[in-house]
Amino acid sequence: MRSDRRVPVAIVGGGFSGTVLAAQLARRGVASLLLDGSDRAGQGVAYSTCEPAHLLNVRAEAMSAFAEEPAHFAERFEAEGGEREDFAPRRFFGGYLKDILADAVASGCVEVEHKAAVSAGREGDGWIVGLDGGDGIFADALVLANGNQEPEPMRALAETGPRYINNPWGDDARAAVQELSRTNGSALLIGTGLTMVDLALSLDAAGHRGRAVALSRRGQVPRSHADFALVPVDGDAVPKRLLPLLRWLRRRSAKVGWRAAVDSLRPHTHALWQGFSTADQRRFLRHARAWWDVHRHRIAPEVARTIARMATEGRLEIVAGRIVAARPDGDGIAVDIRRRRERDIVAERFDYVFNCTGPLGAIARTRDPLLKRLLHDGLVAPDELGMGVEVDRRSRVPGARALWALGPLTKGRFWEIVAVPDIRGQAAAVADDIAKELGRDRHA
């Protein structure tokens, strides 16, 4: 494929990662084209929700899109009647991001193409990017900011029909929530993390008064934010191996409180993760991740109160266990469940089953056409853990000239790279790297 249309930078993905990168490039006078075929450019999946009950998991004062302007979001939220210490609605933050993108477009440095990128390949000193519909563009640099992807279908539920909702963020899920609210039917939510919390909030807000069961192997639910005194720690004082680190974290939690202990590691998580051996990284994912996630990625107190109220009223049951088998059952799904530490298998029927296990965790099984093509052609490779794309410390794809990845695609390298405070720093660093790269090109 050839194209007469040329841009300095093509950014694939219009969620938080892609939007902030485009804005950072514009601040450096570097033009870019943002490619997004989802109709959610400037928001992405996370911040396109219209549900008022969906709140940010971080206080407004820490949610600026620009680390160099820490009050950028908080001041806007205060101007609309909020408080810096509040947890703003995610839809409000989505509006904030759309305005950032609009400002970047108005600067003349950013264009938005509402088409999905489906292929990419080297062409001379740049990249040819194929778009849905057959068009193509030539870019001097290419950035993959695809964001989180929908989970892989669960094998046990694969043949259970339309009552199994694999994508909890899609139109089918919203329609199922509305039907459940009308009928007060029963729902099984597979997973007990942040995705489950979102779906439970949607059910509650829609007026659902039926039974919902949230099931995961350990039955761990995200903890609530609460006020605590910060107790910073010097990185040199933190053990660099996994098991000593976990023992250190338990002792420190007993001394200063678990919230302070966990948050004291935040400035050091990238270095700690990259210092682990691959075996320790795998051990963490297998045995410690569930506990880390619920303590590290906490929810707003108001959200925690809603979840607790639903449980108290008998409308939400948190279960530790696993699915043994599932099959269609009339207008529902019969699911065989073995609860943790119990030998008996119990069959239960649900009107809908939702996959709330979280985003896809194995890049080799992506259904994104561009990523599939890049993997097939060997232009990108999975990281050592298979979670995302292999990148170096500058978020560059090794062996590929002028190719970067950003955000959740780089979890294997950085691990803690899914929250706003983490991604905004990465976006600024990548923007600097791109500006230097293209500057060298222009003066070569």
E-only strand ranges, 80-185? 110-113, 117-123, 126-131, 136-144, 164-165
What is the C-alpha to C-alpha distance for residues 24 and 325, in angstroms, rounded to an integer?
49
**Predicted structure pTM score:** 0.94
What is the C-alpha to C-alpha distance for residues 50 and 300, in angstroms, rounded to an integer?
18
Whole-number pLDDT of residue 26? 97
Residue 198, H or E segment: helix 194-205
Residue pLDDT, tens place only, 118-134: 999 999 989 999 999 88
Residue pLDDT, tens place only, 157-176: 989 999 999 999 999 999 99
Burial 369-382 (b: 16+ CB within 10 A, else e): ebbbbbbeeebbbb
Whole-number pLDDT of residue 46? 86
CATH number of the 155-223+299-355 domain: 3.50.50.60
What are the pLDDT tens digits along the chain (444 aa)?
A: 556 689 999 999 999 999 999 999 999 999 999 999 988 898 888 899 989 999 999 999 999 999 999 999 999 999 999 999 999 999 999 999 999 999 999 999 999 999 999 999 999 989 999 999 889 999 999 999 999 988 989 999 989 999 999 999 999 999 999 999 999 999 999 999 999 999 999 999 999 999 999 999 999 999 999 988 989 999 999 999 999 999 999 999 999 999 999 999 999 999 999 999 999 999 999 999 999 999 999 999 999 999 999 999 999 999 999 999 999 999 999 999 999 999 999 999 999 999 999 999 999 999 999 999 999 999 999 999 999 999 999 999 999 999 999 999 999 999 999 889 999 999 999 999 999 999 854 333
What is the C-alpha to C-alpha distance for residues 397 and 53, in angstroms, rounded to an integer?
38
DSSP class of residue 130 equals: E
Domain residue ranges of the chain, discontinuous segments joined by +: 6-149+360-442, 155-223+299-355, 235-296
- Whether the Cβ atoms of residue 69 and residue 430 lie closer than 8 Å to each other: no
- Whether the Cβ atoms of residue 260 and residue 231 lie closer than 8 Å to each other: yes
Whole-number pLDDT of residue 45? 86
Whole-number pLDDT of residue 272? 96
| Nearest Cα residue to 438 out of 12, 142, 109 | 142
Whole-number pLDDT of residue 358? 92
Whole-number pLDDT of residue 205? 97
- Whether the Cβ atoms of residue 37 and residue 116 lie closer than 8 Å to each other: yes
Whole-number pLDDT of residue 256? 95
Whole-number pLDDT of residue 122? 94
CATH number of the 6-149+360-442 domain: 3.50.50.60
| Same fold? 6-149+360-442, 155-223+299-355 | yes
Question: At what angle are helices 90-106 and 72-79 packed, to 10 degrees?
Answer: 110
